[in-house]
Amino acid sequence: MQEANRQLKAELLEALDSTLTEQLNSMFNELLDKMADSESRWHEAIKKLSEEMKCKVDKIEFDSLKKKLTDEWEKIYQRLQAQEAPEMGHSMKMVSF
């Protein structure tokens, strides 16, 4: 009888061990899947953030370049205006003779 009880206990422990091992294995696989999914989403977020930052940096750089070009064109325009003014005055003198 005791031998039968020991045998039964051994079989129950083995079944319980097998069930627990399967459950743990399943839980670890689920956890790994979730971690892989999270890592994938994390990489996507970093990629999106990097692309947005590049656009913002480009926009900042372009705004700076646009201001420099606008300032230079304004200076050139003023120089041309200053050069035309004496010529216009000189032309007017010639016309008035």
The 3-state DSSP class for residue 97 equals coil
Answer yes or no: is pLDDT of 16 > 70.
yes
For residues 33 and 95, which has the higher predicted lDDT (pLDDT)?
Answer: 33
Helical ranges in 1-97 per DSSP H? 2-96
Answer yes or no: is pLDDT of 91 > 70.
no
CA–CA dist 38, 17 (Å, integer): 31
pTM over the 0.85 mark: no
Model pLDDT, residue 92: 46
Count of CA atoms in the C-beta half-sphere (13 A) of 55: 6
CA–CA dist 18, 30 (Å, integer): 18
For residues 95 and 51, which has the higher predicted lDDT (pLDDT)?
Answer: 51
